[in-house]
Amino acid sequence: MERQDAKKRVEELRSLVEEYGYHYYVLDRPLVSDAEYDQLFQELVKLEAEFPELRTDDSPTVRVGGEVLPYFEKVEHRIPMLSLGNAFSADDLYDFDRRVRQLVGDSVSYTCELKIDGLAVSLQYEQGRFVRGATRGDGTIGEDITENLKTIPAIPLRLREPITIEVRGEAYMPKPSFEKLNEAKEQAGEEKFANPRNAAAGSLRQLDPKLAAKRNLSMFTYAIGLVEGKIFSTHSEGLDYLGELGFRVNRESRRCETIEEVIRYTEEWVEKRAELPYEIDGIVIKVDQLDLQEKLGFTAKSPRWATAFKFPAEEVVTKLEDIELSVGRTGVVTPTALLTPVTVAGTTVKRASLHNEDLIREKDLKLGDYVVIKKAGDIIPEVVNVLPERRDGTQRDFSMPTHCPDCGSELVRLEGEVALRCINPQCPAQIKEGLIHFVSRNAMNIDGLGERIIVQLFDHDLVRDVADLYKLERDALLALERMGEKSVDNLLQAIEQSKANSLERLLFGLGIRFVGAKAAKTLAIEFGSIDRLIQAEEEELVAVNEIGEKMAASIRRYFQKPEVLALITELQRLGVNTNYNGPKRQVTNVEEGNSPFAGKTVVLTGKLEQLTREEAKDRIEALGGKVTGSVSKKTDLVIAGEAAGSKRKKAEQLQIEIWDEAKMLENLQ
């Protein structure tokens, strides 16, 4: 065939294969038989092999998988992919509805969607062409799995409009594909996947796209991240538009005008979920109006305008064989139930959390008992209750130890706490757990430094604190078990790169008691450097929005320890960044005389009628004020709404000026 004729036939075949594939994989309405589709597809493959210059990146033939990848590149999401808060009952859904209506009024409707049990991904299109796909990762940074995602027929490689858009969706493995895959693994003598979610995630994280192509994955899109040139008023309009572009959108979504309708929808799918050809683990409920979503905003981890209703957990009976004790990075000794292996919600469970000694006593657990277990939120196994009627006299009482199971130091129970704690700062278990926390994804995010390697490093006396991680040498790492030259070089590179992390990651990684990821970022933004934070007095810390007295006292105690100051100095000497690198808080140049809020520290308390708390905060800060969460001697002004409580009383005691909402609104003009 001449090149010109080949070019014409290739274009014709691509058009046909794309159209037939869209009807088969997206609409579930085949236009031709499988045999006819396969014949056209193979003809296209043959022509592109004969005329390789005619092959394009968005040709349907890329779905068979390309070359093996050396590794996955990191991808930063332009808009974070946040997780959702959970609801487990109708009462939780009523609470969610009440919180929404308190902030935005009663004119709210919801979109309900099936929560597909798979792997959340982001797809980027430029001028209608698929250019990049990534995993959710930690919500901020994921992995580039573009080549694997291209193998999924339900993901269009070219949209029906030449638009630039980023969409979010859930890649999953249909039940028939999962069963077929596990059958093949069983015949090959390989370990089977525990559930379709794990199988989908494992398939998309294969470095060989050809393997991903064989797994028969699919995908539903559920949201638009960014889009150029389009404006929608509701989330459901956006879903309709995704369908028009050629994406597979779940047909079972429903718009509900009341929370009672939402609850009926969830009850309906509790009964019907087993009939679906794919796994779901709940229902996602979103405020439909996009302007209300914007008003509701976000917490550090999740949107306030959405929640995930999780189906009631499956409960099963198994035997409590023993109780294992572990020491965490803060010294807390945690008991864990060791169980006769049993399948719960599609996975094999051998262990379950027991939290503390009081819970063991409360549930009257004895070694050898038969117990009921479930997965809380279909994720964390927990012991629900014991079955005393099945006792036969062989069961034994369990007692918590008086000394640390790792270092032998005497355990203590601090005032007001239920947990037993090892307070030996040199306890090996605490040091190892602290190191594991330091390198974790939300902290310094050092790729390749998992628990196994941390334990090896500690056991070989290569690390004793986090600063030692930055002193590791290549030859010492090569001597460790299962550490080749390439993995060592990658690890050293990851450690070096982590030195440039912004301050909030270091603060979280240090494991300061009560300081989580959100508080670490707040402190980093507020103080800018660790040196400045070390110098901050307790009152100054409490004045920071969302930093309470308990956390402030913990921060001061931490930075007063000589060994901590020595560690910070050593980290700085080794080149670890101790400054905040992120976007600075917006500062408005407002002169003192031009605004009653300029230069003042303001606290909002009680319920506001005209503005949400966030709206009031934004407007005050735009006029040069600083809004904090606690009243202290440094507070200049308190805005007291309806039912203002302890903060108003403290302001009166400190003789701080107090305004009502009306006066605030008058001065915001």
In this predicted model, what pLDDT tens digit does every residue of 56-110 receive, in sequence order?
A: 877 888 777 666 667 788 888 888 888 888 898 999 999 999 999 999 999 999 9
Amino acid in position 518: K
The CATH number given to 428-498 is 1.10.150.20
**367-403 pLDDT tens trace:** 999 999 987 654 668 898 999 999 999 999 999 999 9
Residue 593 has pLDDT above 70, yes or no: no
Token pair of 245, please?
Answer: 């572009």
Look at the domain 3-55 and name its fold.
Answer: Helix Hairpins (1.10.287)
Cβ–Cβ under 8 Å, residues 199 and 218 = no
Q: Is the pLDDT of residue 232 over 70?
A: yes
CATH of 592-668, one of 3.30.470.20, 3.40.50.10190, 1.10.10.10, 3.90.79.10: 3.40.50.10190
Sign of CA dihedral 610, 611, 616, 619: negative
pLDDT value, residue 210? 87
- Distance between CA atoms of residues 422 and 415, nearest Å: 14
**Over pLDDT 70: what percentage of the chain?**
96
Please name which of 607, 597, 592 lies closest in space to residue 627, comparing C-alpha atoms.
597
Q: Hey, what are 203's tokens?
A: 């398939």
Active site residues: 115
- Could you report how far apart the first and last alpha carbons of the chain are, in Å? 76
Give residue 595's pLDDT. 79
Give me the pLDDT at residue 590, please: 45
Q: What's the gap between Cα 188 and its chain centre? A: 35
Q: What is the DSSP letter of 289?
A: B
Mean local confidence (pLDDT), 148-165: 93
pLDDT of residue 587: 43
What was the pLDDT predicted at 512? 93
pLDDT band at 588 (very low <50, low <70, confident <90, very high): very low
User: What type of residue sits at position 448?
Assistant: G
Helix boundaries (H) for 79-145 = 90-104
Give the per-residue pLDDT at 592.
44
**Of all residues in the chain, what percent are helix, strand and coil, respectively (each to 5)?**
40, 20, 40
Which two structure tokens, joined as six digits, stand for 570?
A: 């050593």
Residue 395 and residue 319 in contact, taking contact as beta carbons nearer than 8 Å? no
pLDDT in tens, 484-529: 999 999 999 999 999 999 999 999 999 998 898 889 988 999 899 9
Q: What is the pLDDT of residue 67?
A: 66
Please report the sign of the dihedral spanned by the C-alpha atoms of residue 462, residue 464, residue 470, residue 471.
negative
User: Which DSSP string do the residues of 266-288 spell out, in sequence order?
Assistant: HHHHHHHGGGSSS-EEEEEEEES
Cα–Cα nearest to 506, from 593, 575, 439:
439
Please name the residue that has the structure tokens 């889009």: 227
The structural domains of the chain, with segments of one domain joined by +, span: 3-55, 85-310, 315-412, 428-498, 503-573, 592-668
Mean pLDDT throughout 461-468?
Answer: 95
pLDDT band at 457 (very low <50, low <70, confident <90, very high): very high
Highest mean predicted confidence (pLDDT) among 228-232, 364-368, 545-549: 364-368
Range list of H helices, 88-189: 90-104, 146-149, 175-187
Closest CA to 74 of 499, 443, 510, 446: 446
Residue 654 has pLDDT above 80, yes or no: yes
Q: If pLDDT is split at 50, 70 and 90, which confidence band does 169 have? A: very high
User: With respect to CATH, is domain 503-573 assigned 1.25.40.850?
Assistant: no
Instruction: Name the pLDDT band for 632 (thresholds 50, 70, 90).
Output: confident
What is the phi/psi pair of residue 125, to 5°?
-120, 140
Average pLDDT, the chain: 88
What would the pLDDT profile of 406-419 be if each residue is shown by its tens digit? Answer: 999 999 987 777 88
Does 458 score more than 60 pLDDT?
A: yes
Can you give the pLDDT at residue 552? 93
Higher pLDDT, 593 or 653: 653
The Cα–Cα gap between 76 and 80 comes to: 8
Q: Please give the DSSP secondary-structure letter assigned to residue 2.
A: -
Position 359 pLDDT exceeds 70:
yes
- 526: Cα within 13 Å, side-chain hemisphere: 22
- In the block, residue with structure tokens 């469970």: 349
Q: What is the mean pLDDT of the segment spanning 445-451?
A: 90
**In this structure, how many other beta carbons lie within 10 angstroms of the beta carbon of residue 574?**
13
User: What are 132's two structure tokens?
Assistant: 């990049």
Quickly state the pLDDT bin for 578 (edges 50, 70, 90).
very high
Average pLDDT over residues 645-657: 87
Task: Among 3.90.79.10, 3.90.1480.20, 3.30.470.30, 3.10.20.340, name the CATH number for the domain at 85-310.
Answer: 3.30.470.30
The CATH number assigned to the domain with range 315-412 reads 2.40.50.140
From the list 310, 384, 400, 391, the residue with the least C-alpha distance to 349 is: 384
Model confidence at 530: pLDDT above 80: yes
**pLDDT surpasses 50 at 586:** no
DSSP 545: T
**Predicted pLDDT of residue 155:** 94
Supply the pLDDT for residue 250: 94
CA pair distance 618, 138, nearest whole angstrom: 28
Tokens encoding 5: 């004729």
**Which tokens belong to 35?**
């045999």
| pTM to 2 decimal places | 0.54
- The whole-number average pLDDT for the span 332-340 is 94
Q: Which residue reads 């992390």 in tokens?
A: 501
Q: 591 pLDDT exceeds 60?
A: no
Percentage of the residues of the chain whose pLDDT score is greater than 90: 52
Select the highest-mean-pLDDT range: 131-140, 466-475, 590-599, 647-656: 466-475
DSSP letters, 196-260, are HHHHHHHHHT-S-HHHHHTT--EEEEEEEEEESS---SBHHHHHHHHHHHT--B-TT-EEESSHH
Burial of 48 from C-beta contacts in 10 A (0-12 / 13-18 / 19+): buried
Chain segment 291-314, per-residue pLDDT in tens: 999 999 887 678 999 999 988 877
> Do the domains 3-55 and 592-668 sit in the same CATH topology, yes or no?
no
Q: 345 versus 564: which is more confidently predicted?
A: 564
